[in-house]
Structure 1
Amino acid sequence: MAMAWLSGNKGRAKVISAVVASGLLAGCTSAAGGDGRRADAPVAGGVAECTKAEAPGDSRDRQTRAMWIATVAGIDWPGDPGHSVARKKSDYRKMLDRAKALGVNAVFVQVRPSADAFYKSPYEPWSRWISGRQGRDPGFDVLDFFVKEAHARDLEFHAWFNPYRVGRGTDRTQLHPDNPARRNPSWVRAYGDGLWYDPGIPQVRELTTKVVMDVVRRYDIDAVHFDDYFYPYPESGDFPDGATYKRYGGGKSKGDWRRGNVDTLVKGLSEQIHRAKPWVRFGISPFGVWRNKRTDPAGSATAALQSYDDIYADTRKWVKEGWVDYVTPQLYWEIGHRTADYRPLVEWWARLVKGTGVELTIGQASYRAGEAGAWRDPAELSRHLTLNERFPEIRGDVYFSAKDLIGDRGGSTSRLRRDHYATAAIPPPVDGGRRPAPAGKVTASADAGGVRVRWHLSPSERATSYAVYRVDGKAERCAPVPTDRLLVTTRGAGIVDPTAAAGKTYTYYVTALDRLHHESAPARGATVTAARG
């Protein structure tokens, strides 16, 4: 807004990287099917060979491990918008390959950075950050490319929208003539160093809703994602919406009215998204402090800016009302910070989501690694994850941003991998899905490249991907899978495991997954001895 492997288990430390690099066999993608199954899901016959084997449960090994890919100003991608289409595509693929090798299983990609689009929108112009000039066609459907490449690597794709930011700088002539913000100047306010839509104007909320729902209907995304920008952070005086408040305030205090405007957008979008595609989730990554305890007894033991009072985002209400499927508070402070200590904040958020059904992941500041103070120690982020383990409500972490995570800024990613990401991970299961039928006929054979594992695809239309587990030695062929031995997930019908040690025996198990991460029982395992060098 990622990761190498346990220090005492260095043999496993290279497994995911090597398996990915050597070629997972992945399918192609296309538009989503009407039943929620990804259209790239393989379809073929399979046989449930282990009728009594139990499916894996929702263990603590299930985690969301994600990173934000920021496109505004080319922060993570595409860098220079003047790069060729081939260069842009290659850079994105390389970024995803590195993410997959690090154990990442989801990407949150910014597709509407500033009232513009990384796809051909009927409502807004192409983004300047993809083509160099707002409104200029970049020569390919960027969002379609984004989604297909992520799914080909079995990465969830969360489409990240900024609902109210119009642009950097206050010169409206820099907006494309067809930009709704240019055509409707009364909707826009200059504030601080930027232009913003006024959230109190009903037509603005309608536009944002139309923009999001257009993407939900036309692209095979897994989730809609908002970050922390609702009303802008306080800068130069009060946000200039006095005329809007006078017209629409209805007797409420300005604070309550502003929060109500944001609530209306969040609640309405949640309903429309789930009505259109029940399997598409809606998540928000708010500023990490809702309110301070000294302001509100329900708040956290902090003394920081308050999202409730300062940017009019009542995140606590959204969780309590179930308007979001997941929440990812941006806890970008170190353990022991004077005014916003990481420790009491994770405790507060864990208590908030408990019993609500809302999934909690933590926004982590990989961009701060190497800074002065606590962040100079590459173990700071690792300590965050160790602390998270005390709270079963925390189901993973999301890192800002991609370039810092995969670039191993300050050595923090290497430490994360060594301490916490010894194996791959499947995201936690989401309500609404069902276990698909198992895959069938798993075979494993030794060759010069390592061990080649193949299977028959599940006959279930719900099956979208497959999890491959590896245990040492000859094991029972219809045993429950050990979830801490996950090797990799893939969309295809086979992998090559190049990390198998020459002359060593292994047993491989394969399960099928639906798009909401419900997992089948394992197919009958296959045992093989890797070829001797």
Structure 2
Amino acid sequence: MVIKLFHRHSLLVCIGLLAGVVALCMAVNFFGNQEDVPAQAPLLPSSSFSDGQADSSVPEIPVEPASEDEMRAVWVPYMSLDMSQESDRSEAAFQQKFDTIVEEAKQCGMNALVVHVRPFGDALYPSNYFPWSHIVGGTQGTDPGYDPLEYMVDATHKAGMEFHAWINPLRIQSGGDTPSTLAADNNYTVWHQDASRDGWTVQTATGKYYNPAYSGVRKLIADGVKEIVENYAVDGIQFDDYFYPSEDPAFDEGAYNAYVESVSRSGKPLELLEWRQANINAMVSLTYSEIKSVNPDVQFGISPQVNVSNDLKMGADVESWCSVRGYVDYICPQLYVNFENPVLPYDVAAEQWREMTTDPNVKLYFGLAVYKAGSDADGGTWKKADNILAQQVALGRQVKCDGFMFYSCEYLDHDQTRKEMENVMKQFAG
């Protein structure tokens, strides 16, 4: 059954958003994935390298003092926790792996971890809704014999840091091999045997996904989050940037056609993209409400792509999340671009998201690409200086963002990124 969408306010938000997006795209003119754009001539005046060498790719921004409650988080992706290929998958081995992550984050001045606890419609904790993750059990559905999430929350808090549980809400399987085997009690497997849930999951060329067009799916996602908040002392819940995996109308054609037929009898239905945004908004607002019903102090955030055009195409109504109360407590766009990006330079992106975040109850964090520092990414422009991330922190403070999240923990202590991180830590100290 397809549930009619939203209330009148959300429809107005959606209509207003479309007009804003048209103007925004004309002004900024960025299309496609910013990760793939080539470098061009420097866009900003010359400045100084941290070692004294002149370079025009990084502006000279004075060190801004940090606010007392500045967020300094690092993402811990499922790959960093993966025990599936380890010869020793014991509780002690997992704890040692996580302790190393905590220690490195602490040494780098971080005050929060954002840890992947549900990467593929599975869980790194005992769940009533999702099977055990292959990350800890070796095969999806295999109980590792201990509770990884319980330990990770406790260890993070003992180190004096916040713990945010990172969730991919809709992904069940990437391609056909991650995870390679779905558990017998995986919802994808079970629902395929239930005609009443036809269409609730979808398989595409890129993998298997939950379909948020259905209220039952949205409730599952929200209930799964509520379960975490009820059972663990997490400080926050975070959805990542993956929502609708495809713009192809075939993804949810049956559900959309049923919606159009239902609404057409009494009014004008939403266009497909508006309808998808409304579905995601319904899931996000329901999740927010469920979290607050258990513990109002637990923060709910989303980390969308930097490119607003891409966000909208995948159903992520980021402007509403930034401006209307009841969706999120924080937004953390992934500003994985440097100052030379020809499509969306870092300073332009930072100002854009600052201006878009108008609800005073929504904190704005900037996601920074530690993994690109010192690499050949984006035409080699990340090799032109070793203080790019540090200057991104300085600019973020200048535009009054509320903190930063760094991707990922694997690159905090790495030969490729060491000099950059040293300069970031100087910003923290300053």
- Structure 2 CA distance, aligned partners of 1:404 and 1:59? 23
Q: Give the counterpart letter for 1:320 in structure 2.
A: S
Q: CA deviation at 1:354?
A: 4.2
- Structure 1 CA distance, aligned partners of 2:352 and 2:361? 16
Q: What secondary structure sits across from 1:94 in the alignment?
A: helix
- Structure 2 CA distance, aligned partners of 1:103 and 1:410? 15
Superposed, 1:372-383 pairs within 5 Å as 372=376, 373-376=380-383, 377-383=385-391
Q: Is the 8 A contact 1:78 1:91 kept in 2?
A: no
Choose the corresponding residue for 2:356, options 349, 352, 355. Answer: 352
Choose the corresponding residue for 2:408, options 392, 397, 401. Answer: 401
- When the two chains are superposed, the root-mean-square deviation of aligned CA atoms in Å is 2.2
Partner of 1:321: 324
Bigger shift: 161-170 or 260-269? Answer: 161-170
Q: Is the 8 A contact 2:84 2:137 kept in 1?
A: no
Q: Is the 8 A contact 1:81 1:130 kept in 2?
A: no
- Structure 1 CA distance, aligned partners of 2:225 and 2:86? 24
Choose the corresponding residue for 1:410, options 417, 420, 429. Answer: 417
Superposed, 1:37-52 pairs within 5 Å as none
TM-score normalised according to structure 1 size: 0.62
Q: CA deviation at 1:274?
A: 1.0
Partner of 1:387: 395
Q: What secondary structure sits across from 1:406 in the alignment?
A: coil
Partner of 1:34: none
Partner of 2:205: 192
Bigger shift: 108-117 or 347-356? Answer: 347-356
1:139-159 per-residue CA deviation (whole Å, 9 max, x = no partner) reads 211110110000111110001
Q: Give the counterpart letter for 1:217 in structure 2.
A: E
- Point out 4+ residue stretches in structure 1 off by more than 4 angstroms: 76-79
1:116-170 per-residue CA deviation (whole Å, 9 max, x = no partner) reads 0000101111001111100101121111011000011111000111110001224
Q: CA deviation at 1:353?
A: 2.0
Cα distance change of structure 1 residues 150 and 168 upon mapping to structure 2, 3 Å threshold: same
Partner of 1:99: 105
Matched, 1:182 2:224: no
Partner of 2:37: none
Q: What secondary structure sits across from 1:157 in the alignment?
A: strand
Q: CA deviation at 1:334?
A: 0.9
- Structure 2 CA distance, aligned partners of 1:183 and 1:247? 24
Q: Is the 8 A contact 1:177 1:183 kept in 2?
A: yes
Q: Is the 8 A contact 2:223 2:290 kept in 1?
A: no
- Structure 1 CA distance, aligned partners of 2:233 and 2:382? 38
Q: Is the 8 A contact 1:82 1:132 kept in 2?
A: no
- The percentage of counterpart residues that share the same residue type is 31
Q: Give the counterpart letter for 2:245 in structure 1.
A: P
Unaligned runs of 5+ in 2: 1-49, 52-64, 193-197, 264-268
What is the number of residues matched between the two proteins?
347
Q: Give the counterpart letter for 1:385 in structure 2.
A: V
- Structure 2 CA distance, aligned partners of 1:253 and 1:134? 38
Q: Is the 8 A contact 1:170 1:190 kept in 2?
A: no
Partner of 2:369: 365
Unaligned runs of 5+ in 1: 1-6, 9-57, 292-305, 424-533
- Structure 2 CA distance, aligned partners of 1:104 and 1:409? 19
Q: Give the counterpart letter for 2:147 in structure 1.
A: D
Choose the corresponding residue for 2:243, options 226, 230, 233. Answer: 230
Q: Is the 8 A contact 2:84 2:134 kept in 1?
A: no
Q: Is the 8 A contact 1:191 1:239 kept in 2?
A: no
Cα distance change of structure 1 residues 410 and 328 upon mapping to structure 2, 3 Å threshold: same
- Structure 2 CA distance, aligned partners of 1:120 and 1:190? 26
Choose the corresponding residue for 1:211, options 224, 237, 248. Answer: 224
1:152-196 per-residue CA deviation (whole Å, 9 max, x = no partner) reads 111100011111000122479921111111101332211232111
- Structure 1 CA distance, aligned partners of 2:83 and 2:407? 16
Q: Is the 8 A contact 2:108 2:412 kept in 1?
A: no
Matched, 1:275 2:282: no
Bigger shift: 131-140 or 352-361? Answer: 352-361
Q: CA deviation at 1:75?
A: 3.7
Cα distance change of structure 1 residues 200 and 90 upon mapping to structure 2, 3 Å threshold: same
TM-score normalised according to structure 2 size: 0.76
Partner of 1:220: 233
Q: Give the counterpart letter for 2:285 in structure 1.
A: K
Choose the corresponding residue for 1:307, options 304, 311, 314. Answer: 311
Partner of 1:158: 164
1:433-487 per-residue CA deviation (whole Å, 9 max, x = no partner) reads xxxxxxxxxxxxxxxxxxxxxxxxxxxxxxxxxxxxxxxxxxxxxxxxxxxxxxx
- Structure 2 CA distance, aligned partners of 1:239 and 1:408? 45
Matched, 1:248 2:236: no
Partner of 1:428: none
Partner of 1:265: 283
Partner of 1:504: none
Cα distance change of structure 1 residues 409 and 76 upon mapping to structure 2, 3 Å threshold: farther
Choose the corresponding residue for 1:114, options 100, 104, 120. Answer: 120
Cα distance change of structure 1 residues 201 and 106 upon mapping to structure 2, 3 Å threshold: same
Q: Is the 8 A contact 1:65 1:398 kept in 2?
A: yes
Q: Whose strand proportion is higher, 1 or 2? A: 1
Q: What secondary structure sits across from 1:67 in the alignment?
A: strand
1:16-48 per-residue CA deviation (whole Å, 9 max, x = no partner) reads xxxxxxxxxxxxxxxxxxxxxxxxxxxxxxxxx
Q: What secondary structure sits across from 2:163 in the alignment?
A: strand
Q: What secondary structure sits across from 1:224 in the alignment?
A: strand
Matched, 1:89 2:84: no
Q: Give the counterpart letter for 2:352 in structure 1.
A: W
Q: Give the counterpart letter for 2:334 in structure 1.
A: Q
Q: Give the counterpart letter for 1:349 in structure 2.
A: W
Q: Is the 8 A contact 1:230 1:313 kept in 2?
A: yes
Q: What secondary structure sits across from 2:323 in the alignment?
A: helix
Q: What secondary structure sits across from 1:389 in the alignment?
A: helix
Bigger shift: 241-250 or 268-277? Answer: 241-250
Q: Is the 8 A contact 1:76 1:401 kept in 2?
A: no
